[in-house]
């Protein structure tokens, strides 16, 4: 408890005014905005260190560390460009790695946007695909510490290069999306070089969600009820026997989701849930299956539920929101086990000092493996605690 209070004190001392950079007017109708977004904090896990990997692991690190630009040419054309710099992380989603690996600096998003009307938009470049709502929820506007560990797509987990067509119809009640993206690249052991196709629709009631991205919480400023569904497909994506280049398998996935948030007089309630199935036609059972069909992003199905409650009054200088989430996913093969089931439990809080621009988030989670490997702590049940400061400028 003393360690947690010490870390919290450090984060509080770092708190200052978080005002967004103003947009620069370049010419009539042309603007450029620079932004910086970061999440920095403390990770603890009750395994990973020591000679046998069973001792506690502690680290400070950036969860995200980004700088980017948003520009408008006119009312129809704009662009978005975002980079990220991430140092080696010891505490990962499901594993702990104490080796010192190379640092990574890369372009996360680079896109040109065309808005012909509310009913028809086009994006070109590198951006988020549309398989799951969780992927489309802003990672600086979540309900819990972060999105689910298990909802990412194979090959290009969150972002890919391509084109998307999307828009809102029927007074913003109905939204459609269709993207054509690179998917698995020809440099991988693939039967063919095909595109990956994704379609998504949603129905949104009360206050509409009409943007390309979603939020994990609207902080009680909107009344939202949205139901969505999506499907993703890439033909001849993998082999079930890579060594002999045989057993061609298609990739397909689908997801359904629901989101509800309502500011009642006693506080704001948030509820969200989704189901995801990722299918490679049992390629993981092959003689030498492609690495992409096994493990965290391989063949699997499961669901998550999450709930939040925000107090109606300020507590000190900010707003306090409590949250809980539960994930339950079954994997075709994870580690050395077939039909592995992983359950993930998390509870925590968000303390909003200046909304999402400046907040402190704490989360305690437990990861439960149905089948454990007694020789490897990364495949045994473990607990994690995280305490992070988020700043957006």
Average pLDDT over residues 117-140: 96
In this predicted structure, what is the pLDDT of residue 25?
67
pTM confidence score: 0.90
Average pLDDT over residues 387-393: 95
Average pLDDT over residues 298-322: 96
In this predicted structure, what is the pLDDT of residue 88?
79
**CA 244, 245, 249 angle in degrees (round to 5)?**
130
CA dihedral 63, 66, 72, 77 (to 10 degrees): -60
Q: Per DSSP, which regions of the chain are E strands?
A: 24-27, 30-49, 55-72, 77-86, 104-117, 120-128, 159-169, 174-181, 196-206, 224-241, 246-264, 267-279, 300-310, 319-334, 337-352, 358-369, 382-392
Average pLDDT over residues 59-79: 92
pLDDT digits (tens, 9 = 90+) for 188-211: 677 888 999 999 999 999 999 999
Residue 3 has pLDDT above 70, yes or no: no
Average pLDDT over residues 152-158: 91
Range with the poorest average pLDDT among 43-47, 160-164, 256-260: 43-47
Cα separation, 391 vs 393, whole angstroms: 7
Contact between residue 57 and residue 45 where contact means Cβ atoms under 8 Å apart: yes
> Which of left, alpha, beta for 118 (phi over 0: left; psi -120 to 50: alpha)?
alpha
Residue 18 has pLDDT above 60, yes or no: no
Average pLDDT over residues 27-49: 88
Q: Return mean pLDDT, the chain.
A: 90
In this predicted structure, what is the pLDDT of residue 6?
54
In this predicted structure, what is the pLDDT of residue 16?
46
**CA 245, 250, 256 angle in degrees (round to 5)?**
150
Domains and CATH numbers, the chain: 2-392 (2.40.160.10)
Average pLDDT over residues 61-74: 92
């Amino acid at each position: 408890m003393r360690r947690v209070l010490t870390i919290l004190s450090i984060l509080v001392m770092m708190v200052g005014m978080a005002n967004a950079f103003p947009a620069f007017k370049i010419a009539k109708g042309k603007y450029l905005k620079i932004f910086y977004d970061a999440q920095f904090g403390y990770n603890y896990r009750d395994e990973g260190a020591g000679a046998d990997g069973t001792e506690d692991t502690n680290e400070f690190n950036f969860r995200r560390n980004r700088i980017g630009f948003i520009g408008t040419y006119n009312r129809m054309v704009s662009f978005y460009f975002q980079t990220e710099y991430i140092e080696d992380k010891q505490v990962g989603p499901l594993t702990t790695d104490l080796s010192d690996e190379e640092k990574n600096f890369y372009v996360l998003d680079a896109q040109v946007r065309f808005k012909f009307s509310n009913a028809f938009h086009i994006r070109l470049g590198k951006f988020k695909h549309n398989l799951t709502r969780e992927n489309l929820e802003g990672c600086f506007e979540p309900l819990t510490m972060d999105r689910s560990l298990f909802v990412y797509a194979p090959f290009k987990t969150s972002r890919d290069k391509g084109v998307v067509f999307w828009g809102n119809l029927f007074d913003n009640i109905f939204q459609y999306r269709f993207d054509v993206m690179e998917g698995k690249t020809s440099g991988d052991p693939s039967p063919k070089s095909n595109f990956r196709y994704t379609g998504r629709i949603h129905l949104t009631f009360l206050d509409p969600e009409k943007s390309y991205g979603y939020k994990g919480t609207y902080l009680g400023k909107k009344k939202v009820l949205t139901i969505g569904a999506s499907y993703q497909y890439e033909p001849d994506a993998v082999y079930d026997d890579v060594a002999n280049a045989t057993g061609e398998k298609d990739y397909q996935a689908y997801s359904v989701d629901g989101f509800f948030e309502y500011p009642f007089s006693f506080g704001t309630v948030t509820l969200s849930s989704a189901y995801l199935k990722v299918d490679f036609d049992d390629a993981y059972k092959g003689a030498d299956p492609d690495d992409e069909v096994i493990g965290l992003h391989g063949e699997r199905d499961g669901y998550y539920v999450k709930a939040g409650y925000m107090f109606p009054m300020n507590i000190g200088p900010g707003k306090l929101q409590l949250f809980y989430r539960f994930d339950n996913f079954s994997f075709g093969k994870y580690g050395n086990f077939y039909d592995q089931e992983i359950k993930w439990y998390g509870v925590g809080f968000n303390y909003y000092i200046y909304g999402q621009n400046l907040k402190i988030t704490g989360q305690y989670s437990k990861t439960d493996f149905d089948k454990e490997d007694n020789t490897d702590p990364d495949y045994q049940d473990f607990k994690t605690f995280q305490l992070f400061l988020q700043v957006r400028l």
